[in-house]
């Protein structure tokens, strides 16, 4: 089964329109977790709660009980609305939340993500920090395990890192100037005009652009900086690169979520409602063994989906093809980094 997004999710929730909200959150979560593996990740951390003893309205909340959206409407008879009626009535809000749940591609491999995803070069973080007018507060949205969050804390008095996945945040290293929160990109919980920087590392392509940009503009101080970056397909040397790129195109292409196109394009053409500034070229360089490379690839969304569908490790054939070229030692590999930055 290949990944699907909002249109598919809408059909699922429409089909479940007869499920009432009264006492049905756990049952609904259980159904969704059996329908598609996407919903197995972190769905237990989301729920529905009543705002009064008579269940006249409901609201989306996270595991801590924090409200994540406007109240859901009750029926004209005071009973909780069906999912179908709620979607029809409150369609401007609910699709955002359910799309967010459906596009949490990383909770299932949070530990591997923390261990094998590369960090970011200090010169990139220093350049971003140098473009801000103040250094009191930075928001790292979609922070994952904090690969960029802790690095930003070397330049800012305080950094708040948010991610949809509580499992990802649980793998982040503690830092005295960093606060981690499980929150959707569109609802940071930060005060108006409080941030000197809103940063997004390797995550902007997953977001609802309009809703997230509105939130970023709300929390940024006048003249504050928005910066997003993504690393692209890695390269090593010609023979290895040819095999790697062929595998990426031929084997994995149809298994990537649609949002992957923004990464492949280096974020060119991506909506960007800020006064853009030019960024220098950056890249990540690491010394890795072939086993390191394959472990990193297993954190890829496309590899996860393909592996689940075929019940096998999709990286093994590539590993066998690469091993004669790679050898037993380490090789230098590099990821070009594309940066979009601008002020409000």
Q: What is the pLDDT of residues 86-109, one digit of tens each?
A: 333 233 333 333 333 335 444 555
Which tens digits make up the pLDDT trace of 179-212? 999 999 999 999 999 999 999 999 999 999 999 9
Of 7-16, 170-179, 230-239, give the lowest mean pLDDT range.
7-16
C-alpha–C-alpha distance, residues 227 and 155, integer Å: 15
Biggest CA–CA distance in the chain, Å, is 71
pTM passes above 0.75: no
Q: Percent of the chain beyond pLDDT 90?
A: 62
- The predicted pLDDT at position 117 comes to 73
Please report the pLDDT score of residue 22 as a whole number. Answer: 37
Measured between alpha carbons, how far is 56 from 64 in angstroms, rounded to an integer? 22
| Whether residue 115 has pLDDT greater than 80 | no
Cα gap 79→74, rounded to integer Å: 6
Position 323 pLDDT exceeds 90: yes
Residue-level pLDDT at 337: 97
Residue with tokens 């060119």: 268
Cα–Cα distance for residue pair 184/169, rounded to 1 Å:
13
Q: Which of 77, 94, 340, 58 is nearest to 226 (CA)?
A: 340
Tell me the domain boundaries of the chain. Answer: 6-102, 108-343
Query: 10 Å Cβ neighbour count for 101?
Result: 20
Assigned CATH class of 108-343: alpha beta
How far is residue 271 from each of residues 20, 262, 276, measured CA to CA in Å?
38, 10, 11
Round the average pLDDT of the chain to a whole number and report it.
76
Q: Is 332 exposed, middle or buried (0-12, 13-18, 19+ CB in 10 A)?
A: exposed
- Phi then psi for 206, rounded to 5 degrees? -85, -10
29 confidence band (pLDDT: 50, 70, 90):
very low
Q: Which two tokens stand for residue 122?
A: 């200090």
């Amino acid at each position: 089964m290949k990944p699907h997004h909002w249109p598919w999710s809408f059909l699922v929730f429409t089909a479940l329109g007869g499920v009432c909200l009264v006492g049905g959150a756990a049952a609904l979560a259980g159904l969704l977790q059996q329908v598609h593996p996407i919903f197995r990740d972190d769905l237990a951390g989301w729920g529905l709660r009543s705002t009064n003893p008579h269940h006249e309205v409901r609201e989306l909340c996270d595991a801590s009980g924090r409200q994540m959206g406007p109240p859901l409407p009750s029926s004209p008879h005071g009973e909780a609305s069906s999912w179908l009626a709620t979607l029809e009535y409150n369609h401007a809000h609910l699709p955002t939340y359910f799309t967010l749940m459906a596009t949490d591609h990383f909770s299932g491999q949070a530990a591997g993500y923390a261990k094998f995803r590369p960090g970011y070069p200090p010169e990139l973080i220093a350049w971003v920090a140098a473009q801000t007018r103040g250094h009191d507060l930075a928001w790292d949205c979609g922070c994952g395990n904090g690969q960029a969050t802790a690095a930003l804390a070397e330049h800012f008095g305080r950094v708040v890192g948010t991610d949809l996945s509580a499992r990802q945040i649980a793998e982040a290293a503690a830092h005295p100037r960093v606060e981690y929160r499980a929150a959707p990109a569109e609802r940071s919980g930060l005060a108006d005009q409080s941030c000197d920087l809103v940063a997004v590392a390797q995550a902007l392509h997953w977001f609802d652009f309009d809703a997230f940009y509105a939130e970023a503009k709300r929390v940024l101080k006048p003249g504050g900086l928005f910066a997003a970056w993504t690393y692209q397909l890695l390269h090593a040397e010609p023979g290895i690169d040819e095999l790697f790129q062929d595998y990426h195109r031929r084997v994995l292409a149809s298994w990537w979520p649609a949002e992957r196109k923004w990464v492949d394009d280096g974020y060119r053409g991506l909506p960007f409602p800020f006064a853009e500034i030019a960024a220098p070229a950056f890249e990540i360089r690491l010394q890795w063994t072939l086993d390191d490379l394959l472990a990193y690839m297993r954190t890829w969304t496309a590899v996860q989906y393909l592996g689940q569908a075929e019940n096998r490790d999709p990286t093994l054939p590539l590993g066998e093809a690469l091993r004669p070229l790679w050898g037993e030692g380490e090789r230098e590999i590099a990821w070009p980094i594309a940066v979009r930055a601008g002020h409000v």
